[in-house]
């Protein structure tokens, strides 16, 4: 009887366990920079890099309002590799087969030495290795419009000219 009770308690936990790469229902599947950037290049998906800090108020508003919208969640999980990147945290970020840089150095490289505050989003299109920088808080409507534009750009690269 005790074992049956334990099994009934543990079974939902075991069945609900998932790996870090599984898409979670109702949440964006954020990954770290090193994992996500390589994945975007390998899969040919656009990387959306959310550059944030712990002290950024507008970053927290985006996490609570924009990134909890189901349309945004579904769209990003389906078509993008979502990367969370805090340049203030210690760590090394891979930028090549043998090169790694600090968070601050990575921010400067992503922004072409022109960082613009937080939150800032970088969109990396792997087909031509183009990086777009979009600064500031975005509500659902604004973010969807940006995603439309980035996807349209990516699609234009794959069209064949007669």
pLDDT of 17 reads: 37
Helix (H, G, I), strand (E, B) or coil at 143: helix
Is 8 inside any structural domain? no
What tens digit of pLDDT does each residue of 42-87 get? Answer: 999 999 999 999 999 999 999 999 999 999 999 999 999 999 999 9
The Cα 9–Cα 7 span in angstroms is: 5
Is 147 inside any structural domain? yes
Select from 98, 107, 97 the least CA-distant residue to 33: 107
Is 94 inside any structural domain? yes
User: HEC profile for 40-109?
Assistant: HHHHCCEEEEEECCCCCHHHHHHHHHHCCCHHHHHHHHHHEEEEEECCCCCCCEECCCCCEECHHHHHHH
* 6 vs 108 pLDDT, higher one: 108
CATH number assigned to the domain comprising residue 31: 3.40.30.10
124, β-bridge pairs: 47, 131
Can you give the residue range of the structural domain that contains 116? 26-157
pLDDT over threshold 80, residue 127:
yes
Is 65 inside any structural domain? yes
Question: What is the percent of the chain where pLDDT is above 70?
Answer: 81
For the chain, what is the domain count? 1
Is 5 inside any structural domain? no
Is 108 inside any structural domain? yes
**Does the global pTM surpass 0.85?**
no
Least confident range from 14-23, 29-38, 107-116: namely 14-23
What tens digit of pLDDT does each residue of 86-101 get? Answer: 999 999 998 776 678 9
Is 15 inside any structural domain? no
Q: Which residues contact 89 (CB under 8 A, 6 or more apart)?
A: 103
pLDDT of 2 reads: 46
DSSP state of 117: -
Q: Using 50, 70 and 90 to split pLDDT, how confident is the model at 5?
A: very low
Q: Which residues contact 58 (CB under 8 A, 6 or more apart)?
A: 118, 119, 136, 137
Is 119 inside any structural domain? yes
């Amino acid at each position: 009887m005790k074992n049956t009770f334990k099994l009934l308690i543990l079974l939902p936990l075991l069945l609900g366990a998932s790996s870090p790469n599984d898409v979670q229902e109702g949440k964006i599947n954020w990954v770290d920079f090193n994992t996500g950037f390589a994945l975007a290049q390998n899969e040919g998906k656009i990387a959306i890099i959310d550059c944030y800090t712990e002290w950024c108020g507008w970053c927290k508003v985006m996490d609570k309002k924009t990134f909890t919208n189901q349309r945004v969640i579904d769209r990003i999980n389906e078509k993008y590799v979502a990367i969370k990147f805090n340049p203030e945290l210690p760590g090394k970020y891979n930028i090549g087969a043998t090169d790694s840089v600090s968070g601050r150095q990575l921010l400067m490289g992503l922004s072409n030495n022109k960082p613009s505050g937080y939150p800032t989003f970088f969109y990396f299109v792997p087909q031509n290795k183009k990086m777009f920088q979009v600064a500031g808080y975005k509500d659902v409507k604004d973010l969807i419009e940006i995603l439309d534009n980035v996807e349209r750009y990516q699609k234009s690269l794959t069209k064949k000219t007669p």
